Amino acid sequence: MPFQLFDAPAREPSQFVGFSGNMLDRLSEKRSEDMVERAFAATGTRVLVMGDGRLHLKLSGGRFDPYFSPQEALSLGAGAANAVLLGFHGQTAVLAASAGIESEALPEMIKAIDYRSIYMQGLIDEAALGALAEGASLLAWHANHLFCGRCGHATEMRAGGYRRLCPHCGTEHFPRTDPVAIMLSLSGDKCLLGRSPRFKPGTYSCLAGFIEPGETIENAVRRETLEEAGIHLGRVVYHASQPWPFPYSLMIGCYGEALDEAISLDGEELEDCRWFTRAEVKQMIDDQHPEGIAIPAKGAIASHLIRHWAEYRE
């Protein structure tokens, strides 16, 4: 059978990671200046309320509900002035708004839970988790760009949260996404995993680093692997990506072909880096490794890269 450009699995790999299930219609070409205000006044609008890295969740029927009505959001200090439009589900607008009440002062049936715990514990469905990633990233960007980088004047939100305008010099500022290369380097039946001092005890993961200006994804994968572990890579292939709202990154997952196996730690990013056989990795996945070594939680793209390779057959 001849090679087909779009040969791919029925479900693309990026759909298996956390924060990737956003199903909203963003209407990116039809955003008006008053979209947030109109959405906040519309019947049925749903609002994600978040702040300080936490999403507010309602306890309802023994389950967590991430959505609030505009009136409920206002009671939590989250109004249109602090909101962005995420998109539409059918005819229903979905917003994200910054909370105005400290977590300690929330009503008993509302909990503020950090984003990482929400996705690791599966507290909300994939579509809501994807909307959370969009909202958290946008609100974080706005909080970090209140003033014009050209003249220093205070900026104003426009286009439902997808632009900031400086009324003093007229400069427009647009939300950014920081690209991060995350890679699993392979040599025969072994993969390279490292351990950062920030990781939970016993956890090893893929290497990763920000992609720099003027750099391809493939070269970023090679550079980061060489800088952190001293390993030279040849071929690099893209596998999957993951929105990562900490604060507004896009994780770009790749596999790299190692040209050597002599590890030389940089002494800054990693405290340890080792080659693991496929059999060892399967033990880690099953929590059966004799040294108690584990891989990241299942929703993380690092975990997906490792698990996919461990089960892969030529």
Quote the pLDDT of residue 3. 55
Quote the pLDDT of residue 1. 47
Written as six digits, the tokens of 310 are 């461990």
Q: Is the pLDDT of residue 121 over 50?
A: yes
Q: DSSP letters along 8-43, please? A: --SS-GGGGSTT-----B--TT---TTHHHHHHHST
| Cβ partners under 8 Å of residue 160, min gap 6 | 31, 32, 35, 36, 39, 84, 85
For residues 301 and 241, is the Cβ–Cβ distance under 8 A?
Answer: yes
In the 8-state DSSP scheme, what is residue 154? B
Mean pLDDT of 265-290: 94
Span 59-97, pLDDT tens digits: 988 899 999 999 999 999 999 999 999 999 999 999 999
Q: Is the pLDDT of residue 235 over 80?
A: yes
One-letter amino acid at 188 equals G
Quote the pLDDT of residue 5. 67
Quote the pLDDT of residue 27. 86
What number does CATH give the domain 13-144?
3.90.79
Quote the pLDDT of residue 141. 97
Provide the CATH topology of domain 178-311.
Answer: Nucleoside Triphosphate Pyrophosphohydrolase (3.90.79)
Q: Where in the chain is the domain with CATH 3.90.79.10?
A: 178-311
Mean pLDDT of 171-183: 97
- Nearest Cα neighbor of 26 from 164, 172, 160 is 160
CA distances from 186 to 191, 277, 310 (A): 5, 10, 11
| pLDDT higher at 105 or 208 | 208
Span 189-228, pLDDT tens digits: 999 999 999 999 999 999 999 999 999 999 999 999 999 9
Q: DSSP letters along 236-256, please? A: EEEEEEEEETTTTEEEEEEEE
Q: How confident is the model at residue 32 (pLDDT cuts 50, 70, 90)?
A: confident
